[in-house]
Amino acid sequence: MTATRMLLVAVSLVFGAYSAWALWHHGYLGIWRAGLTDLAAGQILFDLVIACGLIALWMLRDARDAGRRAWPYLLLTLTAGSVGPLLYLLLSRRPAPG
């Protein structure tokens, strides 16, 4: 296993655990509501939406080039943010960059 793949696994596990904890305490809508509580939180939410949109475009093109289906990862990105791209990279047969 490459260092990049090990890092992806570690980030996925830590982020997944933290996300599960946040969902447990606040619920799905509670997480979105928190992003709209004030101007600073809204800026972070808006930044996340832009970043995930750009990553979704990259995944769509990369999946097309690799002959993969992108829609499961795009749906995950739309509903769960970074979970979609992390899973896409973990399940990729191509070597991860780096």
Instruction: Give which of 54, 52, 61 is closest to 84, Cα–Cα.
Output: 52
Ordered per-residue pLDDT tens for the chain, 98 residues: 889 999 999 999 999 999 999 999 999 999 989 989 999 999 999 999 999 999 999 999 999 999 999 999 999 999 999 999 999 999 987 655 55
The whole-angstrom separation of Cα 10 and Cα 12 is 5
Report the pLDDT value the prediction gives residue 97, as an integer from 0 to 100: 56
pLDDT, position 92:
87
